[in-house]
Structure 1
Amino acid sequence: MSPVFEARRRSTRLLLQLVATLMIIPYVFPLVAMVQGSLAGEGLGNYQAVFSVGAVGTFFRNSAIIAVSTIVIVYVLTMLAAFGFSKLRIRAKEVYFWLILAALTLPEVVLLTPLFATTLALGVYDTYWAVVLPLAALQIPFAVLLTRKFIDGVPDSLFDAARVDGAGVFTAFRYIVLPMTRPIGAAIVVLTLIGAWNSYLLPLVLIQDPAKQTITLLPQFFVSQFSNDQTKVLASAVITAIPEIAAYLCLQGLFERGLAAGALK
C-alpha cells in the first residue's frame, strides 16, 4: 500500500530528513553519552566490576518475574476490558471507562503511601505481588484506552456472523478479538515491559529483602556516602537497558502497527 502523502521534490525530502534527524538527536545523544561514559576509565573493566558484584543474575531474575507477571495481568485484563467497552452492551459502561481513565491523572509518587498501607493490610508486603499488582494497575488504564480504539475498528459483522453460528461471547473473544489484536497486543507487551522493568520507586519502597530487589537498584552498589563511581553506574544502566532493547527489536513491526492503529481508529 502506497503512503497517502509522498514528498516528491528533492528539497522537500531533504527538509523532512533534516527535521527527523533534529527530532531524534535529543533522544539519541543521552544513549550515546551513557555508552561512552560506561567505557570511560577502565573500559570494559567497568562492566566486569558490575558483574563482580554477584547480584546481577538475581536482580535480572527478580525483574523478569515481576515484568512477566505484570505483562500477563495487564494483557489479559486489558483485552477483556477493551472488548467489553467496545463491543458489549453494558449499562453505564462509559462511566466506568472514564473512571478508569481518571487513574491516568494519578502519579506514582502520590500513591506510594496508600500502596504501602494496602500491601501491609493484605499481607503481601516484601513480596513480588507488592510490586506486580500496583504496576499492573498503573499500566491498565492507558492500555485499555489504546486497545479499545483498536477493537472499535473490528467490523461488527464479524461478531454478528459468529453469533449466528452459535458462538458465545468468550468464543468470539478467543477466535475474533485475540487474533485480530496481535499488533496492539505487541504494543501493550512492550509498553508494559518498559514500565515494569524500569520501575524504581515501587521495588525500593515495597520490597526490603535484598534477595528480591530488581535490576534498577543495581547502580546503588556504586553510589554511597563516600563514593560515586559514575562510570560503573552508567555500565549498570547499559546492562539494565539490554532486555528492553531486545524486546523492542523483536516486536518492532507489530509494536509500530499497533500504536498507529490504536491511535487512528
Structure 2
Amino acid sequence: MKRNNALKMCISLLICLIHVLPFYVLLTSSFKAVDDPSSKWIMPGYLYVDNFTNAWHEAHLGTAFANNIAITAGAIVLVVAVGSIAAYPLARFKTGLNKFIYALFVSAMIVPPLTILVPLYKFMVDLGGMNSYWGIILLHVTFNLPVTIFLYTGFIDTIPKELDEAAMIDGSGRLRMFFSIIMPLLKPITATVIILTGVGIWNDYQFSVFFLQQPDARTITVALSAFFGQYNNNIGWVAAGSLMGAVPVAAVYLFLQKYFIHGLSSGAVKG
C-alpha cells in the first residue's frame, strides 16, 4: 500500500514538473540581459526589467491588453447570461423538444471551428464584423455556448426543484425566481465557466488572427506572434512579453480556484 502511494506521488510530481519547467524557463529568460551567457536553467542574480518595458512598447502590448480585456469581458458576460438562462428550462423541463435541443448543443461541441472558417469569414465580411469588438465577441459567444449550456444544465439538475415550487407559491415569476434564487446558487459553476471560457478567449489565436487584422485591433496572442517574428533573436524580450500575457489569466484562476473545483465536483459534468 505504501509502495503504491509512493509511486502515485512520484508520478504526480513528474507531471507537475513537466508543466512547471516551461514556466521556469520563461521566468529565467524574462529577467536576463541580452548579453547574459548563462544557461536558461539558471535563475539570474539580478532583475533586468528592461525586457518588460521594451516588449511592452515594441509589441504595442498596451493596445493589445485593452483589446483582450474588452473582448474577454464582453464575451464572458454574454456567455454566462445567455448560457445560464438557456440551461434552466433544459434542466427543469425534460420534454422531447428540450432533450433534442440539449443534444443539439452537446453535438455542436465536437465541431472544430476551423472546419467552417471559410464560410464564417465570408459571413463576417458581409456582416461588417471584421476588426470590430462586437464581431469577435459574437464569434466567441457562439462557439462557447454549447459547453456553457452543458455545464449549467448538469449543475442545475442537482438543485432541488422544491426551491422553484416554494418560490412560485410565494408569488415569484419564473424570471424573478431564476435571478433571485437559482442564479446565486450557480456561483461555483459560473466560476468554472468564467475560467474555462475566459482562458480560451484570452489565449485565442485562430479567430483573432483572421478577424482582427488591423494593428490597432490585435489581441495579445496576435501581437506576440508578430513580435516574435520580428525579434526572434531576442529571447528576453519575447519571454517577457509572453509572461505579461500569461499573468492576468493565472491571477484570475488562482482567485477563482476554489469555486472552480467546487463547480466541477458538485455535478457540473453531469449530463
Q: State the TM-score, normalized to the length of structure 2.
A: 0.87
CA shift digits 1:185-210 (9 cap, x unpaired): 01111112101110112111112221
Query: Following the alignment from structure 2 to structure 1, what is the Cα–Cα distance between the partners of residues 114 and 27?
Result: 29
Match of 2:79, SS state, is: helix
- Alignment equivalent of 1:103, drawn from 99, 108, 124: 108
Q: After the TM superposition, which parts of structure 1 deviate over 6 Å for at least 4 consecutive aligned residues?
A: none
Unaligned runs of 5+ in 1: 1-8
Determine whether 1:26 maps to 2:18: yes
Matched, 1:249 2:241: no
1:62 matches 2:67:
yes
Q: Deviations over 1:20-51 (max 9, x none)?
A: 21232222222222222333443433222202
Q: Which residue of 2 aligns with 1:223?
A: 229
Query: Gapped runs of 5+ residues in structure 2?
Result: 35-47
Q: Which amino acid letter does the alignment assign opposite residue 236 of structure 1?
A: G
State how far apart, in whole Å, the 2-side matches of 1:52 and 1:122 are: 33
Structure 1 counterpart of 2:53, one-letter code: Q
The number of equivalent residue pairs is 256
Preserved CA contact (<8 Å) 1:101 1:142: yes
Trace 1:204-219 onto structure 2 (pairs within 5 A).
Answer: 204-219=209-224
Task: Give the distance between the partners of 1:202 and 1:228, measured in 2 at CA.
Answer: 27
In the TM superposition, 1:80-99 aligns within 5 A as 80-88=85-93, 90-99=95-104
119, 142, 145: which one pairs with 1:140? 145
Deviates more, 1:246-255 or 1:22-31: 22-31
Q: Does the 8 Å contact 2:87/2:153 carry over to 1?
A: yes
The CA RMSD over aligned residues, in Å, is 2.1
Going from structure 1 to structure 2, the CA distance change for 1:106 and 1:40 (only over 3 Å counts) comes to farther
Question: Aligned with 1:105: secondary structure?
Answer: coil
| Residue 258 of structure 1, aligned match among 258, 263, 266 | 263
Q: Could you tell me which residue of structure 2 aligns to residue 4 of structure 1? A: none
Cα 1:19–1:227, aligned 2, differ >3 Å: closer, same or farther?
closer
User: What secondary structure sits across from 2:58 in the alignment?
Assistant: coil
Q: CA deviation at 1:160?
A: 1.3
